[in-house]
Structure 1
Amino acid sequence: MTRDNSHPIIPVLAILGAILLWGSSFAAMKHLLASMNPWAIMWMRVGFATLILTPFMPRLTRPVKKGDRLALAVMALFMPCLYFLFESYALTYTTATQAGLISASLPLMVSVGAGFFFKEKTTSSGWTGLLLSMLGVAALTLSGSPSTNASDPALGNMLELIAMACASGYMLLVKRLSASYGPWTLTAIQNAAGCIFFIPGLYLLIRDGLGTAPFEVLMTAGYLGVFVTLGAFVLYNSGISRLPAGKASAFINLVPAVAAFFGWFLLGETLNFIQLLASAVIFAGVGLAQYGEKLDWKSFPIIKSTLCAANHKN
């Protein structure tokens, strides 16, 4: 099997699948956080994923090259370890609205990093699409009802920015390492590192238990671990190995829109007109970043008439 022969829509669908799973995780996490410590939830997520993956690791994974050990360790440190750590603490100091605005900087960070490290060229349509999607995320978060519980917004916003830097570093490292390792190998390393990093959650789980509805907690945590933590990372790692890092990262701005949908569908949260419009802007921006350079803009009636009028004047 060669990557060059794969259909170009396959990596796009893989990343969209990851975004769908990541977006759904917010509603599931919100449900569990009502009765459990976040460290315990995170350990259960990576624990379930590792438990499912371990029996298949000899067949699905490949040996790690000695020269890649540092890069793989840094990748796992960035995601899931430091990313979840900084974002969790960021949300204790700042509002979700401000953190959401800062998270919109992720695609731009990855695009700049991809240009610097991989010499990837971002077209004008790509930059326009990224900007459009970032504006959509900003409108989506600002149009909601933000929490006023922000004891130190400056510190919280800085921690969220560091979390985004960790996420961008992870994406860039996955882009480089995917040339030598498959998505299952990269995902197995991430989950193993997460089990060690979030080990305090095991103590909290033993101390506090599973609450009054243990079966429901196990089912929800199992979904987060098997489908979100394991499945989403496999899909994303597979997709980003076949797409430019800058383009792949543009899909991340779809997460707030997907999360808002599941919040409405599963938790009864409502979307106002501005939020629905902002979600449409986000989808339009991602589409423009992906396919804008392939469109024949001169064929569009408005642009075509404008160009004809300009040529007639000249």
Structure 2
Amino acid sequence: MSDYAQVRSEGTLLPTLAVLAAVLLWGSSFAAMKHLVGILDPWAVMWLRTGIATLALTPVAGRLAAPVRIGGDRRVLALMALFMPCLYFFFESHALMFTSASQAGLISASLPLMVAAGAGFMFGERTSSRGWTGLALSMVGVAVLTLTGEATLSASNPVLGNLLELAAMVSAAGYMLLVKRLSASYGPWTITAVQNAVGAVFFLPGLYLLIRDGLGPEPWSLLLIAAYLGAFVTLGAFGLYNVAISKLPAGRASVFINLVPAVAAFFGWVILGETLTPMQMLASGIIFLGVWLAQRGSD
């Protein structure tokens, strides 16, 4: 290995490990979220997530986060926070009321291709014709997965739920592209602090719902799950991803999200006992074929 290649490899190792850890945390969150929205209103769940994340970050925010400058950056930061966590969490928490954690996780396989397409427009990251074909094929797989969904105990209305999850992925793609732009001016923890503070305000009606309805029959168990989602997923995973995307190309960082469906399906099976129908397994194969084809197109 040349000296340049060794330096480059060492320079990308930590960001790569950071995005890998973020993806594993995201994959585990689908089953946890599915459990919580079965007990609490989605707004209450999302306020707990963003509120706990903000509370965890507050003691160290002064050392990790820098002030936001006046000007156009504030509008871009506001748009980023609208995409994530506001719209993303809104769509995903409601999606998991109607579809299974496994199906929602599989739809997330379309996210890297959305990011790659957007990165081509915003940053000039090249997407080949094979990459566009992979994007189209992946979206066909998402459509088949959605339209062949059958109502079950864990997925009462999979068509509606999967469409809401697809809207969440569009929001996530917008967030990732804006973070890539903002990372040139702000550190990852500044971006993370803005996200969580805006999310805690946006989902504030959830606090009223928590006070009105309570925490259900097992409050401590629920709070532990919410603490995991808030501190480790909402704060930790997004912080790690923001660190990674400040050092890696947007398209390359998003490739690791291909692991989310497998992790989500695993936890959905182990924790919730979810399964996929043969047609949904075929649709899943189409999604992964599209992702593989798109990645071959970017080699």
What runs of 5+ residues in structure 1 fail to find an aligned partner?
295-314
User: How many residues in Structure 1 have an aligned counterpart in Structure 2?
Assistant: 289
- Per the alignment, residue 270 of structure 2 pairs with 265
Q: Distance in 1 between matches of 2:96 and 2:229?
A: 20
Return the match for 2:40 from 36, 42, 51: 36
- Per the alignment, residue 23 of structure 1 pairs with 27
**1:196: Cα distance to partner?**
0.3
Q: Is the 8 A contact 1:143 1:274 kept in 2?
A: yes
- Per the alignment, residue 301 of structure 1 pairs with none
Return the match for 2:205 from 186, 200, 206: 200
- Per the alignment, residue 306 of structure 1 pairs with none
Bigger Rg over Cα? 1
**1:146: Cα distance to partner?**
5.2
**1:268: Cα distance to partner?**
3.3
**1:266: Cα distance to partner?**
2.3
Return the match for 2:171 from 162, 166, 180: 166
Distance change in 2, residues 1:239/1:291 (3 Å): farther
Q: Secondary structure at the match of 2:11?
A: coil
Distance change in 2, residues 1:34/1:50 (3 Å): same
- Per the alignment, residue 241 of structure 1 pairs with 246
Mapping for residues 148-297 of structure 1, pairs under 5 Å: 149-150=156-157, 157=163, 161-270=166-275
**1:78: Cα distance to partner?**
0.9
Structure 1 residues 204-226: Cα deviation after superposition (integer angstroms, max 9, x where no partner): 00011111111101111000000
Q: Secondary structure at the match of 1:223?
A: helix
TM-score by length of 2: 0.79
- Matched residue type, 1:117: M
**1:18: Cα distance to partner?**
1.1
What runs of 5+ residues in structure 2 fail to find an aligned partner?
1-6
**1:108: Cα distance to partner?**
2.7
Percent identity over paired residues: 66
- Per the alignment, residue 310 of structure 1 pairs with none
**1:249: Cα distance to partner?**
2.2
Structure 1 residues 207-257: Cα deviation after superposition (integer angstroms, max 9, x where no partner): 111111111011110000000100010111111122221222233332222
Q: Secondary structure at the match of 1:70?
A: helix
- Per the alignment, residue 50 of structure 2 pairs with 46
Q: Is the 8 A contact 1:111 1:122 kept in 2?
A: yes
**1:31: Cα distance to partner?**
1.8
- Per the alignment, residue 115 of structure 2 pairs with 110
Q: Distance in 1 between matches of 2:58 and 2:176?
A: 24
Structure 1 residues 85-125: Cα deviation after superposition (integer angstroms, max 9, x where no partner): 23445667x75698777654433322222111111123577
Return the match for 2:61 from 57, 60, 70: 57
Q: Secondary structure at the match of 2:242?
A: helix
Q: Distance in 1 between matches of 2:99 and 2:273?
A: 21
Q: Distance in 1 between matches of 2:280 and 2:21?
A: 22
**1:169: Cα distance to partner?**
1.4
- Matched residue type, 1:25: S
- Per the alignment, residue 80 of structure 1 pairs with 85
Q: Is the 8 A contact 1:132 1:285 kept in 2?
A: yes
Mapping for residues 1-12 of structure 1, pairs under 5 Å: 6-12=10-16
Q: Distance in 2 between matches of 1:34 and 1:162?
A: 21
Mapping for residues 133-144 of structure 1, pairs under 5 Å: none
Distance change in 2, residues 1:280/1:15 (3 Å): farther
Q: Is the 8 A contact 2:151 2:157 kept in 1?
A: no
